[in-house]
A and B are shown apart, each in its own frame.
Chain A
Amino acid sequence: MKKKSLFLSLVAILATISSSAFGQSLSGAGATFPLPFYNMAFQKYTESTGVKVTYGGIGSGGGIRSLSDKVVDFGASDAFLSDKELAEMPATIVHMPTCSGAVVVAFNLPGIQSINLTSDVLVNILLGKIKNWNDPSLKKLNASVKFPDMPITVVYRSDGSGTTNMFTDYLTKVSKEWANKLGSGKTVNWPVGVGAKGNPGVAGTISQTKGSIGYVGSEYSFAQKIPTAYLKNKAGKFIKPSMASISAAGQGTIPADTRVMLTNSDAPYAYPIAGFTWIIIYKEQNYNNRTLAQAEATLKLLSWMLTPDAQKIAPTVNYASLPEAVVKKANAILRTVTYNGKPVLK
């Protein structure tokens, strides 16, 4: 009996300590793509405010499921929810972009650091129509490059991923043939090539296979300094993937709810395969007996993510920060979030 009461009081003490000392805590889950950025940003936020934020990188699909099951304060996804997916959620949700990234075309040709590609040539390589690096169509785009007589090995992501989604969304936009044969999605039915798991798997396979070409997330390729192709954008310029050219992709026309792919952007200096990554929350924050304090803490964190303080962290971990105009739109979205019908943010 004595033991039991001792145990109970210990539990009570622990409970009070954890609730008072650690104060507010928020949890989120979802996309792995922005994980390094979120980790850095949330850590900084905890240091300055004391609000503890935990984030689980479980994949965009998992993030959407977690929010739908109401087990997290916010979800995160690399792909915005389609109208159908929005309708399937238990309540209205809003998207807030946090940063943008891109997909780069990486290759391995001995002694060659950069090549120019157009969408036509890229699609033909991926469809297996251009089989060798000495193809005249490649030569035409790269007068100064001496291509070897070498078979092309296409490398793609074998696991379902937002990177594939962004890349195939671009291909679907620029090529009718691609749209008809494959379309876009987190996994598609690649006609040629080999699949490898994750960005490290694809990048590793490319770096080890002469004559290979594939696509990887920009955040990974920038960190690893992998040779990448310049892509011809809608304005007709060959654009090198960089923070600036990815950020530029967000300067085109963006709808008010920010649910848009930045692929094939019409901005003149935009890299053509870019996209936002989003945090998603319920528009009405009073659900599952959530307190007003919890809702306020969630919104405070999210609006802090849009401040220059948070945004300047993004480039240090190889993500492009949001352009001014997008930050404005995102702030406007946050102001529509309510608790019992009243806006949470003043």
Chain B
Amino acid sequence: MNSDKILKYILFTASLLILLISGGMVFSLVRGAMPSFHEFGWKFIISSEWDPTQGREQYGALLFIVGTLLTSVLALLIAVPLAFSTSLFVAEYFKNTRIASVVSTMVDLLAGIPSIIFGLWGFYILRPFIVSIGLSDQGYGIFTSGLILAFMIIPYATSLSNTSISMVSNELKEAAYSLGATRLEVIWNVILPNARSGITASYILAFGRALGETLAVTMLIGNSNRMPTGLFSTGNTMSSVIANQFGEASGLQLSSLIEIGLLLFVMTTIINAVGKFIIKKLNR
């Protein structure tokens, strides 16, 4: 056997293994979720009742779906203006300067910080701060977690948009300048239309990342199984209810937690697929 063939087999096995692992994960999630699905059916998604007390067990995921969407959307709303400004700063205004590379390194560094550090910072610094300025009595809730999530997803939102903004061809920009366009007009009429899909895709991927974030959110959301009533009310998310309860859960409760996991998996898969689709369109 020649080395080429051996390499081919190794690569084939490796990729097959990854396929098998992801397939196995989906399979075990579906299998684990079956008892809960049989018990509650589609009502699982629209019911907001979550009661693990023996004898009157009732599980529905709506609370957690709402909590997850609220925190992630809030995070995106906070992160987008920041990320967009940073991208313009790094990839257009100060392109290829020292300060741009410092800024983009710092932003990339954010991505490397473990989420427990964000959680601790949120718990010991951000939460007391929110209490001290009188926004809420105890500082936990949708707003605090959304804010922390925003910081966490900024690097994901910037890196891809940086690339697509800097990829806009210089000829186009120069043409616009030669017609007398101001810098703002160039950004608005040349850069944005050309980089639009890349920027959108990066925000969608960042959103997908926010959906699944667990640790920092668990530390800050307040973990209450009640429908959030406002920005500062406490809530719970899909990933944090799993993290909180799976350790001591059994039977129907465990199965319902697994079904939430499956839902989260489906949600992030769809979000990522949409992101990938938009990138593909950009590259064509």
Contact = CB atoms under 8 A, between A and B. Distances in A.
B223 A160 contact: no
A193 B224 contact: yes
Contacts of B52: 160, 185-189
A189 B51 contact: yes
A115 B198 CA distance: 60
A153 B234 CA distance: 12
Contact of B225 (A62, A183, A189, A211): A189
Interface string B47-80: 0001111111000000000000000000000000
Contact of A183 (B53, B131, B137): B53
Contacts of A186: 52, 248
A251 interface: no
A158 B131 CA distance: 21
Given A153-B137, A158-B223, A204 B123 contact: yes
Contacts of A60: 248
A188 B139 CA distance: 23
Contacts of B225: 189-190
A151 B250 CA distance: 36
Given A151-B137, A158-B223, A196-B223, A182 B53 contact: yes
Contact of B219 (A193, A197, A208): A197
A205 B128 CA distance: 10
Tell me the interface secondary structure of chain A in the complex. Answer: loop
A209 interface: yes
A209 B139 contact: yes
Nearest to B128: A208
B247 interface: yes
A201 B222 CA distance: 11
B207 interface: no
A195 B240 CA distance: 11
A193 B235 CA distance: 10
A194 B138 contact: yes
A18 to B, nearest CB: 32
Contacts, number: 88
Given A188-B52, A194-B234, A204-B123, A160 B248 contact: yes
A184 interface: yes
A59 B247 contact: yes
Interface in A137-187: 151, 153, 158-161, 182-187
Contacts of B223: 158, 194-197
Interface string B95-122: 0000000000000000000000000000
Contact of B138 (A158, A187, A191, A209): A209
A61 interface: yes
Interface residues on A, range: 20 to 34
A189 B139 CA distance: 21
Contact of A61 (B51, B55, B250): B250
Contacts of B53: 182-185, 188-189
Contact of A194 (B50, B140, B250): B140
Contact of A160 (B55, B127, B249): B249
B182 interface: no
Contacts of A212: 138
Given A183-B56, A185-B54, A194 B222 contact: yes
Contact of A187 (B124, B222, B243, B245): B245
Contacts of B138: 153, 194, 205, 209, 212
B218 interface: yes
A182 B51 CA distance: 9
A62 B249 CA distance: 9
Most chain A C-beta atoms within 10 Å of own C-beta, residue among B51, B53, B55, B131 = B53
A222 to B, nearest CB: 24
A190 B56 contact: no
Given A194-B138, A196-B223, A61 B249 contact: yes
Most chain B C-beta atoms within 10 Å of own C-beta, residue among A187, A193, A204 = A187
Interface in B243-264: 243-245, 247-250
Interface in B30-60: 50-56
List the 4 shortest-distance A-B pairs measured between CB atoms, nearest first.
A160-B248, A195-B223, A158-B223, A194-B222
6 contacts: A159-B244, A183-B53, A187-B52, A189-B225, A193-B224, A209-B137
Given A153-B137, A183-B56, A184-B53, 19 more contacts: A158-B223, A158-B240, A159-B247, A159-B248, A160-B244, A186-B52, A187-B244, A187-B245, A188-B53, A194-B222, A194-B234, A195-B222, A195-B223, A195-B224, A195-B234, A195-B236, A197-B219, A197-B223, A211-B137
